[in-house]
Amino acid sequence: MSEGNSRVIESNQDGIHEDLTDIVNKHFATKFLKPFAEHTKQAFAEVEAQLASKSMPIIFDSCCGVGDSSRALANLYPNHWVVGIDKSADRLSRERDNNEPDNLILARADLNDFYRLAVQANWQVDKHFILYPNPWPKSAHVKRRWHGSAVFPEIIKLGKTIELRSNWKLYLEEFAYALKLAGMDSELKPYQFETAITPFEQKYHNSGQPLWQLTAELYN
Protein backbone atom coordinates (compact mmCIF):
# COMPACT_ATOMS: atom_id res chain seq x y z
CA MET A 1 0.00 0.00 0.00
CA SER A 2 1.43 3.42 -0.86
CA GLU A 3 1.13 6.59 1.20
CA GLY A 4 -0.96 7.93 -1.69
CA ASN A 5 -3.73 5.41 -1.05
CA SER A 6 -6.25 7.17 1.16
CA ARG A 7 -9.44 5.48 0.00
CA VAL A 8 -12.07 4.41 2.47
CA ILE A 9 -11.61 0.71 3.29
CA GLU A 10 -13.88 -1.59 1.32
CA SER A 11 -14.36 -5.07 2.73
CA ASN A 12 -16.56 -8.08 2.09
CA GLN A 13 -16.80 -8.42 5.88
CA ASP A 14 -19.40 -6.53 7.91
CA GLY A 15 -18.56 -7.87 11.34
CA ILE A 16 -15.90 -9.76 13.31
CA HIS A 17 -14.57 -12.55 11.07
CA GLU A 18 -16.53 -15.74 11.71
CA ASP A 19 -13.35 -17.81 12.08
CA LEU A 20 -11.49 -15.39 14.35
CA THR A 21 -12.22 -17.25 17.59
CA ASP A 22 -10.86 -20.51 16.17
CA ILE A 23 -7.87 -18.80 14.56
CA VAL A 24 -6.82 -16.99 17.74
CA ASN A 25 -7.42 -19.99 20.00
CA LYS A 26 -5.37 -22.18 17.68
CA HIS A 27 -2.49 -19.71 17.77
CA PHE A 28 -2.54 -19.73 21.56
CA ALA A 29 -2.54 -23.52 21.59
CA THR A 30 0.38 -24.03 19.18
CA LYS A 31 3.91 -22.65 19.04
CA PHE A 32 4.88 -20.59 15.99
CA LEU A 33 7.96 -22.44 14.74
CA LYS A 34 8.76 -20.76 11.41
CA PRO A 35 12.55 -20.31 11.19
CA PHE A 36 13.83 -16.76 11.68
CA ALA A 37 14.97 -14.87 8.57
CA GLU A 38 18.70 -14.21 8.71
CA HIS A 39 18.30 -10.46 8.02
CA THR A 40 15.92 -10.08 10.96
CA LYS A 41 18.23 -12.02 13.31
CA GLN A 42 21.03 -9.67 12.32
CA ALA A 43 18.84 -6.57 12.71
CA PHE A 44 17.75 -7.80 16.13
CA ALA A 45 21.37 -8.29 17.25
CA GLU A 46 22.25 -4.78 16.09
CA VAL A 47 19.27 -3.23 17.88
CA GLU A 48 20.14 -5.15 21.07
CA ALA A 49 23.72 -3.86 20.93
CA GLN A 50 22.46 -0.28 20.70
CA LEU A 51 20.02 -0.82 23.56
CA ALA A 52 22.84 -2.19 25.70
CA SER A 53 24.75 1.10 25.36
CA LYS A 54 22.33 2.84 27.76
CA SER A 55 19.75 1.45 30.13
CA MET A 56 16.40 3.06 29.30
CA PRO A 57 12.86 1.72 28.97
CA ILE A 58 11.76 0.81 25.45
CA ILE A 59 8.96 2.13 23.27
CA PHE A 60 8.25 -0.09 20.32
CA ASP A 61 6.87 1.47 17.10
CA SER A 62 5.83 -1.42 14.85
CA CYS A 63 5.24 -0.91 11.12
CA CYS A 64 6.81 2.54 11.43
CA GLY A 65 6.98 3.14 7.65
CA VAL A 66 9.26 6.14 7.07
CA GLY A 67 9.77 6.45 10.84
CA ASP A 68 7.98 9.76 11.42
CA SER A 69 6.01 8.41 14.39
CA SER A 70 9.21 6.95 15.87
CA ARG A 71 10.91 10.35 15.59
CA ALA A 72 7.91 12.08 17.17
CA LEU A 73 7.85 9.54 20.02
CA ALA A 74 11.62 9.83 20.53
CA ASN A 75 11.26 13.58 20.95
CA LEU A 76 8.23 13.18 23.23
CA TYR A 77 9.95 10.56 25.43
CA PRO A 78 13.64 11.55 25.58
CA ASN A 79 14.30 9.10 28.44
CA HIS A 80 13.09 6.06 26.50
CA TRP A 81 14.60 4.19 23.62
CA VAL A 82 12.21 4.32 20.68
CA VAL A 83 12.64 1.33 18.39
CA GLY A 84 10.90 1.72 15.01
CA ILE A 85 10.68 -1.40 12.87
CA ASP A 86 9.50 -1.77 9.29
CA LYS A 87 10.12 -4.44 6.69
CA SER A 88 10.55 -1.89 3.91
CA ALA A 89 14.14 -0.70 3.54
CA ASP A 90 12.96 1.84 0.99
CA ARG A 91 10.52 3.49 3.38
CA LEU A 92 12.99 3.50 6.27
CA SER A 93 15.70 5.18 4.24
CA ARG A 94 13.50 7.93 2.86
CA GLU A 95 13.58 10.52 5.62
CA ARG A 96 16.77 9.89 7.57
CA ASP A 97 18.92 12.91 8.29
CA ASN A 98 21.89 13.80 10.47
CA ASN A 99 19.78 15.24 13.27
CA GLU A 100 18.03 12.10 14.39
CA PRO A 101 17.23 11.98 18.14
CA ASP A 102 19.90 10.05 20.12
CA ASN A 103 17.27 7.74 21.58
CA LEU A 104 15.87 6.67 18.19
CA ILE A 105 16.67 3.29 16.63
CA LEU A 106 15.19 2.43 13.23
CA ALA A 107 15.67 -1.02 11.77
CA ARG A 108 14.51 -3.05 8.83
CA ALA A 109 13.09 -6.36 9.96
CA ASP A 110 10.13 -8.69 9.58
CA LEU A 111 8.03 -8.29 12.68
CA ASN A 112 6.81 -11.89 12.46
CA ASP A 113 10.35 -12.77 13.52
CA PHE A 114 11.36 -9.67 15.44
CA TYR A 115 8.48 -9.99 17.91
CA ARG A 116 9.44 -13.57 18.73
CA LEU A 117 13.11 -12.65 19.16
CA ALA A 118 12.16 -9.78 21.49
CA VAL A 119 9.97 -12.04 23.63
CA GLN A 120 12.69 -14.71 23.73
CA ALA A 121 15.17 -12.06 24.89
CA ASN A 122 12.75 -10.91 27.63
CA TRP A 123 12.49 -7.36 26.36
CA GLN A 124 10.76 -5.08 28.83
CA VAL A 125 8.73 -2.83 26.56
CA ASP A 126 6.97 0.09 28.18
CA LYS A 127 4.66 1.10 25.33
CA HIS A 128 3.95 -0.60 22.03
CA PHE A 129 2.44 1.29 19.09
CA ILE A 130 1.09 -0.22 15.87
CA LEU A 131 -0.08 2.76 13.86
CA TYR A 132 -2.13 2.16 10.72
CA PRO A 133 -1.19 -1.48 10.10
CA ASN A 134 -1.99 -2.81 6.62
CA PRO A 135 -5.72 -3.61 6.94
CA TRP A 136 -5.94 -6.68 4.69
CA PRO A 137 -9.68 -6.01 4.34
CA LYS A 138 -10.59 -9.08 2.28
CA SER A 139 -12.17 -11.72 4.49
CA ALA A 140 -9.84 -14.37 3.03
CA HIS A 141 -6.85 -12.41 4.33
CA VAL A 142 -7.83 -12.38 8.00
CA LYS A 143 -4.67 -14.28 8.99
CA ARG A 144 -2.54 -11.47 7.59
CA ARG A 145 -4.03 -9.04 10.12
CA TRP A 146 -1.87 -8.93 13.27
CA HIS A 147 -4.60 -10.38 15.53
CA GLY A 148 -5.14 -13.23 13.03
CA SER A 149 -1.44 -13.97 12.67
CA ALA A 150 0.44 -16.79 14.37
CA VAL A 151 2.58 -14.20 16.15
CA PHE A 152 -0.36 -12.55 17.96
CA PRO A 153 0.35 -14.36 21.28
CA GLU A 154 3.90 -12.92 21.21
CA ILE A 155 2.71 -9.44 20.25
CA ILE A 156 0.67 -9.17 23.41
CA LYS A 157 3.52 -10.44 25.57
CA LEU A 158 5.49 -7.34 24.62
CA GLY A 159 4.74 -4.26 26.55
CA LYS A 160 2.79 -2.88 29.44
CA THR A 161 0.48 -1.04 27.07
CA ILE A 162 -0.41 -1.33 23.41
CA GLU A 163 -1.96 1.29 21.14
CA LEU A 164 -3.23 0.75 17.61
CA ARG A 165 -4.70 3.33 15.28
CA SER A 166 -6.60 2.68 12.07
CA ASN A 167 -9.09 4.17 9.64
CA TRP A 168 -10.85 0.77 9.61
CA LYS A 169 -12.83 0.41 12.82
CA LEU A 170 -13.45 -3.30 12.23
CA TYR A 171 -9.72 -4.02 12.32
CA LEU A 172 -9.56 -2.58 15.82
CA GLU A 173 -12.80 -4.28 16.87
CA GLU A 174 -11.26 -7.58 15.83
CA PHE A 175 -8.01 -6.81 17.66
CA ALA A 176 -10.06 -5.96 20.77
CA TYR A 177 -11.97 -9.23 20.35
CA ALA A 178 -8.72 -11.19 20.12
CA LEU A 179 -7.42 -9.42 23.23
CA LYS A 180 -10.61 -10.38 25.03
CA LEU A 181 -10.04 -14.03 24.08
CA ALA A 182 -6.67 -13.62 25.81
CA GLY A 183 -8.44 -12.20 28.87
CA MET A 184 -7.53 -8.56 28.32
CA ASP A 185 -9.80 -5.52 28.16
CA SER A 186 -9.24 -2.61 25.82
CA GLU A 187 -10.76 0.72 24.92
CA LEU A 188 -11.77 1.70 21.38
CA LYS A 189 -12.60 5.31 20.63
CA PRO A 190 -12.46 7.93 17.88
CA TYR A 191 -9.00 9.41 17.50
CA GLN A 192 -8.46 13.12 17.07
CA PHE A 193 -5.15 14.91 16.94
CA GLU A 194 -3.59 18.34 16.70
CA THR A 195 -0.59 17.16 14.72
CA ALA A 196 -0.51 13.95 12.69
CA ILE A 197 2.51 11.82 13.53
CA THR A 198 2.45 9.48 10.54
CA PRO A 199 1.96 10.00 6.78
CA PHE A 200 -1.05 7.65 6.77
CA GLU A 201 -2.64 9.47 9.68
CA GLN A 202 -2.28 12.72 7.71
CA LYS A 203 -3.61 11.24 4.44
CA TYR A 204 -6.67 9.64 6.00
CA HIS A 205 -7.41 12.82 7.94
CA ASN A 206 -7.03 14.97 4.80
CA SER A 207 -9.50 12.74 2.99
CA GLY A 208 -12.04 13.24 5.78
CA GLN A 209 -12.03 9.69 7.15
CA PRO A 210 -12.71 9.07 10.81
CA LEU A 211 -9.76 7.59 12.67
CA TRP A 212 -9.92 5.11 15.54
CA GLN A 213 -7.68 4.30 18.47
CA LEU A 214 -7.50 1.10 20.49
CA THR A 215 -5.59 1.08 23.77
CA ALA A 216 -5.04 -1.71 26.24
CA GLU A 217 -3.04 -2.52 29.30
CA LEU A 218 -1.39 -5.87 28.83
CA TYR A 219 -1.33 -8.20 31.80
CA ASN A 220 1.65 -10.50 31.46
Ligand X SMILES: C[S@@+](CC[C@H](N)C(=O)[O-])C[C@H]1O[C@@H](n2cnc3c(N)ncnc32)[C@H](O)[C@@H]1O
| Binding-site ranges for ligand X (CB under 6 A) | 1, 63-65, 69, 85-88, 91, 110-112, 131-134, 198-201
| Cα 168 from Cα 170, distance rounded (Å) | 5
Nearer to ligand X, 24 or 151 (CB): 151
Closest separation in Å from C-beta 110 to ligand X: 5
- Which residue number, 63 or 178, has a Cβ lying nearer to ligand X? 63
What are the start-end ranges of the H helices in 58-165? 68-76, 89-94, 111-120, 152-155
* Shortest reach from residue 63's CB to ligand X, in Å: 3
Task: Select the residue whose beta carbon is closest to ligand X and give its number.
Answer: 65
- What's the min distance (Å) between Cβ of 183 and ligand X? 25
Q: Which is nearer to ligand X, 65 or 148 (CB)?
A: 65
Please state, as a whole number, how many other Cβ atoms lie within 10 Å of the Cβ of residue 1: 10
**Nearest to ligand X of 124, 134 (CB atom):** 134
Q: Which is nearer to ligand X, 18 or 48 (CB)?
A: 48
Do 147 and 22 form a contact (C-beta atoms < 8 A)? Answer: no
Shortest Cβ 206–ligand X spacing (Å): 13
- Neighbour tally for 59: CB within 10 Å: 24
- For residue 91, the minimal CB distance to ligand X (Å) is 5
Query: Nearest-CA neighbor of 121 among 28, 33, 49, 67?
Result: 49
- Give the integer Cα–Cα distance in Å for 143 and 85: 20
